[in-house]
Amino acid sequence: MKTRTSATNRNADSSRRRTAAERTSRPPAATPPAQPPLSPRVQTVVVEDDREGQRLDNFLAGRLKGAPKSLIYRICRTGEVRVNGGRAKPDQRLAAGDQVRIPPVRLAEKGEAGPPPGGQLNRIEAAIVHEDRDFLVIDKPAGIASHGGSGVSFGAIELLRAARPRDTLELAHRLDRDTSGILVLTRKRSALTALQAAIREGRVEKRYLALVEGALPTARLVVDAPLRKSVLQGGERMVRVDEEGKPSRSRFSEVERYAGASLVDVALETGRTHQIRVHAQHLGHPLAGDEKYGDRAFNKAMREFGLKRLFLHAARFEFAIGERSYGFSAPLAPELAAVIDALQAQRATPSGAR
């Protein structure tokens, strides 16, 4: 009996040692990855009086700090965001008292960009041409979008918010990514609503410099052609002249004429997407460097004069709020001025001297 009891104890001790060894040799359980923080559950937010007229996407960006534009557009597109119980597009203007349903969202998605690179911040700060208590104005370089989204991590607004984290900055209007020149941002809600009202009522003067193919039929002309916007299957935006489009009006004035091209001043009476580019194409005098609406042979010819981008520059932006008038201007971007210098040099060169 004693022998059997001893053997049993030895077997039990051996089993315990094996179990302990197995526990020691097992790899530790994987720690679940940390999940990005969620915004509060479903929120229903009442639009305050000082948010009257604000775009829905900008309103959501203010409520969902750190949310990328792509996420905001997605939750609008899928109907998760509701205004007064109905679906709403990102560009819908809100009214005081509207009820906005905001779903819970992850504010840090996989692959989301981190802080903007220091070089980009330095570049955008160097572009500031004016700032006061109401406005911050930049001479936007070509290649920087007005805002992020559609594959662009940081637009001008995101970069400036990162550079000025204590400011409440909003875009008052937009410029295409390939267009350089004056871009106005506001620092106060009251300034934004006042300027946007001026834009809607046609009390803002926006003037551009563009290089077009050939010579205009007259030194001054008005293009009054409605524009219709469509989105192709790949997501690319295209605009065309269409009787069922939105009213669109541009005033073209010749500044200087060269061999095969003209520098023109364009004043916008409306602000449609790609308006100058499509109206110029409609005239039969497309913009130089325009890969979407331009002429391939003309673009090739202008590359010989050093043109490497769309020749379109927002040169001046004027408006008045109350008794105070504002006027912001930016000289032709250096890379475009160099093209003009080359065209002028060719014009001054006797025929056959080149």
Query: Residues with catalytic annotation?
Result: 176
Show the tokens assigned to 204: 């803002």
Which token pair is 92?
């819908």
| φ, ψ of residue 324 in degrees (nearest 5) | -105, 130
| HEC letters along the chain | CHHHHHHHHHHHHHHHHHHHHHHHHCCCCCCCCCCCCECCCCEEEECCHHHCCCEHHHHHHHHCCCCCHHHHHHHHHCCCCEECCEECCCCCECCCCCEEEECCCECCCCCCCCCCCHHHHHHHHHCEEEECCCEEEEEECCCCCCCCECCECCCHHHHHHHHCCCCCCEECCCCCCCCEEEEEEECCHHHHHHHHHHHHCCCCEEEEEEEEECCCCCCEEEEECCEEEEECCCCCEEEEECCCCECCEEEEEEEEEECCEEEEEEEECCCCCCHHHHHHHHHCCCECCCCCCCCHHHHHHHHCCCCCCCCEEEEEEEEEECCEEEEEECCCCHHHHHHHHHHHHHHHCCCCCC
**Residue where the block lists tokens 């989204």:** 149
